[in-house]
Amino acid sequence: MRIIGGERRRKKLISVPGITTRPTSDRVKETLFNIIQTQVRGAAVLDLFSGTGALGLEALSRGADRCLFIDYDKQAVATCTKNIAACNYTEKSTLIQWDIAKNLNCLSRYSEPWDLVFLDPPYKKGLADVALSHLASTGALSCESLIIVEHAAGDPPETGDGFILTETRKYGTTALSFLSPIPKK
């Protein structure tokens, strides 16, 4: 696992020990960043279920201004902390250990909206739907925000009342769904 592009290109990242965290494959990550390349530079990034931090670190390497990493698993938080330091992005990064399944109240301390949101929960546990519901209720997004959900190909997220599904792309057993917030009236 490594950074694919940008200023930290080829930087190796450490993995979370064990099998509880499934990292995004380099192929899927490269394809994702090719799709969103024009939206990364200068972005405020939110990496939910961050695991190793690979998606947020990739965004920082490609010019994002800042990234908030959130994960609940202690080993994932420790690994993400090490990867942030190894990439020398401590100034641009904040890491919070938080149970996203309960709520996203931790976002209330941030006044600026998030431009890009990566959502990569464990597959087939309904956590993407729960996280999207919490995210919709936070007011932490603008109508221009882009949410990317990585999920099992046969298990797309429910958009609920807060989001519009704009596109889904499949890569073997993995899929990426791109969502936009529904503008508030």
Domain count, the chain: 1
Pairwise CA distance, residues 154 & 182, whole Å: 24
Q: What tokens were used for 175? A: 């899929």
pLDDT, position 2: 85
- For residue 37, tell me if it sits in a domain: yes
pLDDT, position 55: 95
- For residue 1, tell me if it sits in a domain: no
- For residue 7, tell me if it sits in a domain: no
pLDDT, position 169: 93
Range(s) of the domain holding residue 176: 26-181
Pairwise CA distance, residues 21 & 37, whole Å: 26
CATH of the domain at 126: 3.40.50.150
pLDDT, position 40: 96
- For residue 143, tell me if it sits in a domain: yes
pLDDT, position 18: 67
- For residue 142, tell me if it sits in a domain: yes
pLDDT, position 159: 82
pTM assigned to the model? 0.93
pLDDT, position 142: 87
- For residue 103, tell me if it sits in a domain: yes
pLDDT, position 181: 92
- For residue 60, tell me if it sits in a domain: yes
Strand order in the sheet with 174-181: 93-97, 66-71, 44-48, 114-119, 141-152, 174-181, 163-171
- For residue 19, tell me if it sits in a domain: no
Q: What is the pLDDT along the chain (185 residues), one digit of tens a residue?
A: 889 988 998 899 988 876 666 667 778 888 899 999 999 999 999 999 999 999 999 999 999 999 999 999 999 999 999 999 999 999 999 999 999 999 999 999 988 899 999 999 988 888 999 999 999 888 899 889 999 999 999 888 888 778 999 999 998 889 999 999 987 65
Strand 66-71 versus strand 93-97 pairing type: parallel
Query: Residue 175 forms beta bridges with which residues?
Result: 151, 170
